[in-house]
Amino acid sequence: MTKIKSCGIKGVIAGLALIISQAFPALISVSPERQNVAIGSMFDVNIMISGLVENEDLSTFDVNLSYDNSLLEFYSYKLTDQLGNLVSGDAVDVSDNALPGIVNIANLSLIDDLSFQSDAFNLATVTFKGIAEGISEIALKDGLFGDINGGFIDFTTKNGTANVPEASMVMLLSSGLLALSVVSFRKKTLHKKVF
pLDDT tens for each residue of 111-120: 999 989 989 9
On whether residue 7 sits in a domain, the answer given is: no
What pLDDT is recorded for position 53?
87
On whether residue 112 sits in a domain, the answer given is: yes
On the question of pLDDT at 176 being above 90, the answer is no
The model's pLDDT over 49-88, given as tens digits with 9 standing for 90+, comes to: 999 988 889 999 999 999 999 999 999 999 999 999 999 9
Q: Give the CATH number of the domain where residue 162 resides.
A: 2.60.40.680
Q: How many domains are contained in the chain?
A: 1
Say how far apart CA 184 and CA 188 lie, in whole Å: 6
Closest CA to 41 of 139, 140, 127, 144: 127
pTM: 0.73
What one-character DSSP code corresponds to residue 117? -
On whether residue 20 sits in a domain, the answer given is: no
Beta strands 58-66 and 120-130 are: unpaired
On whether residue 8 sits in a domain, the answer given is: no
On whether residue 88 sits in a domain, the answer given is: yes
- What percent of the chain stands above pLDDT 70? 73
On whether residue 193 sits in a domain, the answer given is: no
- What percent of the chain stands above pLDDT 90? 56
On the question of pLDDT at 192 being above 60, the answer is no
What pLDDT is recorded for position 15?
44
On whether residue 134 sits in a domain, the answer given is: yes
Q: Is the dihedral of CA 106, 130, 156, 119 positive or negative?
A: positive
On whether residue 115 sits in a domain, the answer given is: yes
Domain that residue 167 falls in: 26-188
- From residue 6, alpha-carbon distances to 9, 20, 21 in Å are 5, 21, 22
